[in-house]
Amino acid sequence: MAASPQTPPFVTTGSLYVGDLHPEVTEANLFEVFNRAGPVASIRVCRDAVTRRSLGYAYVNYHSVQDAERALETFNQTQLKGRSIRVMWSQRDPSLRKSGKGNIFIKNLDKSIDHKALQDTFSQFGQIVSCKLETEENGDSKGYAYIQFATQEAADLAVQKVNGKMLADKKVFVGPFVPRKERLQQLGSQLFTNVFVKNLPETVDDDKLNQMFSAYGPITSAIIMKDEQDKPKGFGFVNFETAEDAALAVQELNGKEMEGKQLYVGRAQKKIERQSELKSKFEAQKIEQLSKWQGVNLYVKNLDDEVDDDKLRDLFTPFGSITSAKVMRDDKNHSKGFGFVCYTNPEEATKAVTEMNGKIVVNKPLYVGLAQTKDARRAQLETQFATRNKIVGPRFGPQQPLYNNAPPMFYGAGQPGFMYPQQMMPRGRFPPQGPGGMYPAGPGNYMMMPSSRGGMSKGGRGGPMAGGPSRRGGMKQPQAPAHQPYMQQPAPDMGASGLAPLSSSYLANLPEEERTRVLGERLYALIEKSQPSAAGKITGMILESAATEEILELIDNQTALQEKITEALQVLKEAQGPAENGTATAQKA
Q: Where in the chain is the domain with CATH 3.30.70.330?
A: 14-178, 193-267, 294-371
Q: Where in the chain is the domain with CATH 1.10.1900.10?
A: 403-588
pLDDT at 76: 87
Taking the whole predicted model, whether its pTM rises above 0.75 is answered as no
Looking at domain 294-371, its CATH class is: alpha beta
Q: Do residues 459 and 438 make contact, with C-beta atoms less than 8 angstroms apart?
A: yes
Residues 437, 440, 443, 445, CA torsion sign: negative
User: Does an H or E element contain 121, and which?
Assistant: helix 115-122
The three-point CA angle 486-489-495 to 5° equals 120
pLDDT at 32: 93
Q: With the CA atoms of 291, 297, 302 and 304 taken in that order, what torsion angle do they form, in degrees rounded to the nearest 10?
A: -140
Q: How far apart are CA 72 and CA 70, in angstroms?
A: 5
CB atoms within 10 A of CB 235: 13
State how far the alpha carbon of 502 is from the alpha carbons of 364, 431, 493, 555, 562, in Å. 9, 20, 10, 9, 19
121-128: long-range contacts, CB 8 A cutoff, minimum separation 24: 121/162, 121/167, 122/147, 122/158, 122/162, 125/149, 125/154, 125/155, 125/157, 125/158, 125/161, 126/150, 126/151, 126/153, 126/154, 126/155, 126/157, 126/158, 127/6, 127/8, 127/151, 127/154
Q: How far apart are CA 251 and CA 26, in angstroms?
A: 57
pLDDT at 300: 93
pLDDT means over runs of 10, the chain (589 residues): 52 85 93 93 90 91 91 89 86 65 88 86 87 82 88 91 88 84 59 90 91 88 90 92 86 88 89 76 70 80 92 93 92 90 90 91 89 70 60 40 38 38 38 41 40 39 41 44 42 45 74 84 89 88 81 85 87 63 39
- State pLDDT tens for residues 343-371: 988 899 999 999 999 899 988 899 998 88
Q: How far apart are CA 106 and CA 118, in angstroms?
A: 10
Q: Which CATH superfamily is domain 403-588 in?
A: c-terminal domain of poly(a) binding protein (1.10.1900.10)
193-267 CATH = 3.30.70.330
pLDDT at 62: 94
CA atoms within 13 A on the CB side of 74: 12
CA atoms within 13 A on the CB side of 130: 24
- State pLDDT tens for residues 470-494: 444 444 444 444 444 434 444 444 4
Q: Do residues 60 and 34 make contact, with C-beta atoms less than 8 angstroms apart?
A: yes
Q: Are strands 261-262 and 257-258 parallel, antiparallel or unpaired?
A: antiparallel
pLDDT at 318: 93
| Residue-wise DSSP of 331-390 | TTS-EEEEEEEEESSHHHHHHHHHHHTT-EETTEE-EEEE---HHHHHHHHHHHHHHHHH
Topology, domain 14-178: Alpha-Beta Plaits (3.30.70)
